[in-house]
Amino acid sequence: MKWLRMTALSVIVCLCSISPQAQSMAPSRTSSQAEQEILALENQRNDDRMTADDYTFITLRGELRSKPEILKGFQSGSFKYEARQISDLHVRVYGDTAVVTGRSNQTGMENGKDYSGDYRFTRVYVRRDGHWLTVALQTTRVEK
């Protein structure tokens, strides 16, 4: 019985010590300006200046791509995307970090394969030197 009380007390102490940290990670209620900035960036996503040099992209096939690999694919013509329409955007801001989830309907080809379709995505932004940069993206194809 004494062991059970000590375990319960330990759990309560741990939960109390985590609580302030968890609260500081909660989205800020005053982050609407940052949310608007991120939404604007999502609508002009094709500008490579918005992408951090250490950017990583996890494709729908589970492949990991770096910014140089992506740029090389577009420069060589092996990646060709003609259209992209985004919707269902939801932005959560955590200080100098923002997480965007949304939906993308796009038409395009990669290495001769058609990758047109409907996707869900999660993109992570960080604010560096006063500017928002995307540092990570993960996509998943929406199956019909």
Domain that holds residue 78: 27-141
What are the tens digits of pLDDT across the range 95-112? 999 999 999 999 999 989
Flag the least confident range among 3-7, 28-32, 65-69. 3-7
- Look up the pTM and report it: 0.71
**Residue 90: pLDDT over 90:** yes
The reply to whether 1 falls in a domain is: no
Site of tokens 């989830």: 101
Residue 14 counted as domain residue:
no
Token pair of 107, please?
């038409």
Helix (H, G, I), strand (E, B) or coil at 64: strand
77 in a structural domain: yes
- Position 120 pLDDT exceeds 70: yes
